[in-house]
Homo-oligomer: A and B are copies of this chain.
Amino acid sequence: MKIHEFQSKEIFSRYSIPVTAEKVCYTTDEVLSAVQSLGMPVVIKAQVHAGGRGKAGGVKLAKTIEEAREAANKILGMDIKGYTVKKVLVAQGVKFNAEFYVGLTIDRNSKTVVFMASSEGGVEIEEVAKENPAAIHKFSIDPDLGMTSFLARKIAFKLFSDFSLVKQAVDLFQKLYQIFMDTDASLVEINPLVITDEGKLLALDAKMNFDDNAMYRQSAIEKLNEPTEDEKKEISAKESGLTYIRLDGSIGCMVNGAGLAMATMDVIKHFGGSPANFLDIGGSSNPQKVIEAMNLLLADKNVKVIMINIFGGITRCDDVARGLIVALDEMKVDIPIVIRLSGTNAEEGLRIIAERNLPTVNSLSDAAQLAIKLCENCSEN
């Protein structure tokens, strides 16, 4: 789960991490009144859950009221990677003389939280990682010790030589780690962290992502969730035990298990087709799930054929077959369906399917090729 820059900074402020004076605004009028209280210059920044907003024109410096109005008008309502900008952050302009990157995330390899720090802040850190990986210092945090003073100092000395900055950084790094742990974050990032002309460290930007699995115990964070329409569908699917991600193709897929779902997409593409979605109906038998999955597929107008690939394990094939029959009874399905059932209770499932004269196939290859063929026929209509 992602939150906005301004929300991340609100959390930072609660831990006494210095951030810029700023205000969230939803209209140009609000921006102008914020500018009054903050003073000039200001930076106006789109608040959307998409990266690269700077390149997209979503961040503008304004030195006059007129510039601020212009920037607000331009940014509010702008589309950034499919997200419409509904609010901007108006932040006091700050004079600074150096930019750094600091971030915390999970490292699969060491199975710890890692702290990343770089003197090359203010640019996209992925670029730095590619072009000059040595410029990013990484420190694995021992889960038994946490962010000790000595570790924070060791990191700080990599970035700063001035001891006053080192001391500020030690405090800052320990707080960031605390935030990470307290909020079940998966990413906490400041880019750039700057040294102001007064010699103080300041978080000019802030980014936080969270572990979806932990949101049950992070209700304050979960309240900040702002799903898009597509994400809402995914969330509602998830509540039914389904994982659904819409894609651009024409073959609607219903599969049990994430790995098998991805492999099914791979096989479709392998034979020249294009999947309309990733849809994992998960691990336990429940006809209702199949009905909801069918509804999701049929709601997508791009879907020209439905391909069902079930490998029974916990999921029982006869349950899937029954759910499918109920779904077909309830809803008008005027597109072809290709069904492959295998594993637990597959024979019974196939018998149920056969009663309705629906096409079944034996192998995944056959299923994919048949679906592609049916789809091409559809397109001709």
A144 part of interface (Cβ distance < 8 Å): yes
2 pairs from A and B in contact (CB 8 Å cutoff): A143-B144, A144-B144
How far apart sit A143 and B142, CA to CA, in the bound complex (Å)? 14
- In the assembled complex, the CB of A5 is this many whole angstroms from the nearest CB of chain B, namely 33
Q: Tally chain A residues at the interface, Cβ within 8 Å.
A: 2
Residues of B within 8 A of A144 (CB): 143-144
**Distance between Cα atoms of A196 and B144 in the complex (Å):** 39
Distance to closest chain B CB from A278 (angstroms): 36
Within the assembled complex, what's the spacing in Å between the Cα atoms of A143 and B145?
Answer: 10
Which 2 A-B residue pairings sit nearest by Cβ, starting from the closest? Answer: A144-B144, A143-B144
Contacts of A143 in B (CB 8 A): 144
Tell me the chain A residues, 132-152 only, with Cβ under 8 Å from chain B.
143-144
Number of copies: 2
Task: Give residues of chain A (1-47) contacting chain B, Cβ–Cβ below 8 Å.
Answer: none
Task: Kindly state the separation between the CA atoms of A361 and B144 in the bound complex, as whole angstroms.
Answer: 55
- Quote the shortest CB–CB distance from A338 to chain B (angstroms): 48
Q: Which residues between 290 and 322 of chain A lie within 8 Å of chain B, taking CB atoms?
A: none
Complex CA gap A144/B144 in Å reads 5
In the complex formed, the residue of B with least CB distance to A144 is B144
In the assembled complex, the Cα of A143 lies from the Cα of B143 at a distance in Å of 12
Q: How far is the CB of A305 from chain B (nearest CB, A)?
A: 50
How far is the CB of A316 from the nearest CB of chain B, in Å?
A: 33
The distance in angstroms between the C-alpha atoms of A148 and B55, with both chains bound, is 48
Smallest Cβ-Cβ distance to A142: which chain B residue: B144
The smallest C-beta distance from A174 to any residue of chain B, in angstroms, reads: 15
- 1/0 per residue, CB under 8 A from B, across A108-149: the answer is 000000000000000000000000000000000001100000
Please measure, in the bound complex, the distance between the C-alpha atom of A144 and the C-alpha atom of B143, giving whole angstroms.
8
In the complex, what's the smallest C-beta–C-beta distance from A210 to chain B, in angstroms? 23
Write the nearest CB–CB distance from A144 to chain B, whole angstroms.
4
B-contact 0/1 string along A163-200, CB 8 Å cutoff: 00000000000000000000000000000000000000
Residue of B nearest to A143 (CB): B144
Q: Give A50-80 as 1s and 0s: 1 = Cβ < 8 Å from B's Cβ atoms.
A: 0000000000000000000000000000000
CB distance from A53 to the nearest CB of B (A): 41
Q: How far is the CB of A140 from chain B (nearest CB, A)?
A: 16
In the assembled complex, the CB of A171 is this many whole angstroms from the nearest CB of chain B, namely 15
Q: How far is the CA of A361 from the CA of B74 in the complex (A)?
A: 93
Interface residues of A in 328-375 (CB under 8 A from B): none
State in angstroms the CA–CA spacing of A143 and B144 once bound together: 8
